[in-house]
Copies of this chain bind each other. A is one copy, B any other.
Amino acid sequence: MAAWSSSPSLRHLLLLRPRVPLSPTCLAGSFSRRHIHSHSRRRLFSSASSSTLTHGDEASTHADADGVVDVNPPRGTRDFPPEDMRLRTWLFDQFREVSRLMAFEEVDFPVLESEALFIRKAGEEITQQLYNFEDKGGRRVVLRPEITPSLARLIIKQGKSVSLPLKWFTIGQCWRYERMTRGRRREHYQWNMDIFGVPKVRAEAELLQAIVLLFQRLGITSSDVGIRVSSRKVLQAVLNMYSIPEHLFTEVCVIVDKLGKLTRDEIEKELMSTGLSSEAVQGIIEVLSLKSLSKLEEVLGSGVEAVADLKKLFSFAEQYGYADWICFDASVVRGLAYYTGIVFEAFDREGKLRAICGGGRYDRLLSTFGSEDIPACGFGFGDAVIVELLKEKGLLPDMSRQIDDIVFPLDEELEGPASSIAFSLRKKGRAVDLVEDKRLKWVFKHAERINASRLMLVGNSEWERGTVRVKILSTREEFEVKAGDLE
């Protein structure tokens, strides 16, 4: 819970890289300090048998040998009490609104997927930390670590009925399994936007526009945040220069993605272990340190696709008007095996946080599932780092509860009129809290706590006249209104 600062231990997290690093911190708890105390281990006796609950070294977290059960959610997962849920809903609404503006359609997939969708051999952390199981039918299943493979699966399934280009977004929970240390999480929510059927970098330009649009709506500026852009084709060109065989490409990408997390020595060692010459290793590392597109052009030559793609993308950024948000950085390769072209990630310019979001082009994912390829690109945007950033910048909105009316019968006999008043106001679209069996003092405090606009007091003398007393809570105005005239 103290994870909002970038403590060194959290840096380990960078080793996990779905499109967006799974988050050690969380949306829940980001501003609700009152729950922190309750995270202490409260255990209660359960009616459940404990006989099956005591395997393994970590099992004690959830069930002690004596049958005591934890009231916390499973390790590394979150509950969303109302105040945290309001924040999550607000953030998801922002994701949805930007997706709507960009004319993307929402889709969804099961959080439980077949393990086969996620098994890749490139040594990505994401596939090494699968939250996988064997189900009762002997199937290998997994709580998905990322959403893109499900997307690809659905597109293959829909086949010819799909009209291209296709622009889809989804907001879903992703999971990883690793040994827990304090403050690290095993799940996060991720907003994904993907475009299928557009081979040109226009698609990447649209994705970047969406990300910038989101930042702008949240009040974040280009002096807070930047987006680093490169292309896998840069690395491909370097490998070609040294005549390095094609099959090493993905593995090299996954290794160089660790630049900045591992030391240079460690990276070199890993690269050497794939069989590269030390000349090639040096060449790779030098090119990846480039931060200027014209330098890259000097090194690779202007005829190279990597350079042409990047130049085109930066020209788009000018035309859209978000060039101040993006910069070329050859060291960006992203940790997923399937990227083939442009890759990008958003970062806070103060350098305190992990990547805010990341994505790229993956033109050959479908063929790894045995289907015909469709050019595609997309990004994943997690729910954790963005909230940290908003908090740091003081940009989190007011998340207090809001109710229209409280209806309160002053006498138990008046529960009937109170019921019909509540029902009729609700039918008219008012959010009505019907309160009973409390003192008036409590009701006023409650009204303040939930930001009620009006208080409707149903009292005997008024009701005899067919009226209720209405109090506007902001102005303290009070007047009598006929029950039938309430709205």
What residues of chain A have their CB less than 8 Å away from a CB belonging to chain B? 34-35, 38, 42, 44-50, 52-53, 55-59, 61-63, 68-75, 77-82, 85-86, 88-89, 100-103, 105-117, 119-121, 131-141, 143, 150, 153-154, 156-159, 161, 163, 167-168, 173, 175, 177, 187, 200, 202, 205-206, 209, 213, 216, 315-316, 318-322, 368-371, 401, 403, 415-417, 419-420, 422-423, 426-427, 429-434, 436-437, 449-450
Residue of B nearest to A452 (CB): B103
Residues of B with C-beta under 8 A to A368: 46-47
The answer to whether A156 and B107 touch across the interface, beta carbons within 8 angstroms, is no
The answer to whether B319 and A419 touch across the interface, beta carbons within 8 angstroms, is yes
In the complex, 11 of the A-B residue pairs with CB atoms within 8 angstroms, ordered by the A residue number, are A38-B159, A48-B116, A55-B139, A56-B139, A58-B138, A62-B114, A71-B369, A75-B139, A78-B110, A86-B105, A103-B432
The answer to whether B85 and A106 touch across the interface, beta carbons within 8 angstroms, is yes
Partner of A138, one of B47, B55, B153: B55
The answer to whether A369 and B157 touch across the interface, beta carbons within 8 angstroms, is no
Residues of B with C-beta under 8 A to A206: 434
Residues of B with C-beta under 8 A to A419: 205, 316, 319-320
Give how many copies assemble into the complex. 2
Task: Given A81-B154, A107-B80, A423-B209, answer yes or no on A161-B369 (Cβ-Cβ < 8 Å).
Answer: no
Partner of A137, one of B56, B132, B143, B161: B56
Q: Give min CB distance, A345 to chain B, whole Å.
A: 21
The answer to whether A58 and B137 touch across the interface, beta carbons within 8 angstroms, is yes
Q: Give min CB distance, A93 to chain B, whole Å.
A: 11
The answer to whether A436 and B202 touch across the interface, beta carbons within 8 angstroms, is yes
Residues of B with C-beta under 8 A to A106: 82, 85-86, 89
Q: Give min CB distance, A44 to chain B, whole Å.
A: 3
Closest CB pairs A-B (n = 4): A56-B138, A44-B370, A55-B138, A58-B137
The answer to whether B321 and A114 touch across the interface, beta carbons within 8 angstroms, is no
Residues of B with C-beta under 8 A to A45: 369-370
Residues of B with C-beta under 8 A to A110: 73-74, 77-79, 187
Q: Give min CB distance, A122 to chain B, whole Å.
A: 11
The answer to whether A119 and B38 touch across the interface, beta carbons within 8 angstroms, is no
Looking at A143, A158, A177, A423, the one whose CB has the most chain B CB atoms below 10 A away is A423
Partner of A423, one of B135, B320, B449: B320
Query: In the bound complex, what is the Cα–Cα distance between A363 and B112 (angstroms)?
Result: 33
Residues of B with C-beta under 8 A to A114: 62-63, 69-70, 74
The answer to whether A431 and B103 touch across the interface, beta carbons within 8 angstroms, is yes
Query: In the bound complex, what is the Cα–Cα distance between A120 and B82 (angstroms)?
Result: 28
Residue of B nearest to A437 (CB): B200
Query: In the bound complex, what is the Cα–Cα distance between A437 and B315 (angstroms)?
Result: 18
Partner of A213, one of B119, B209, B427: B427
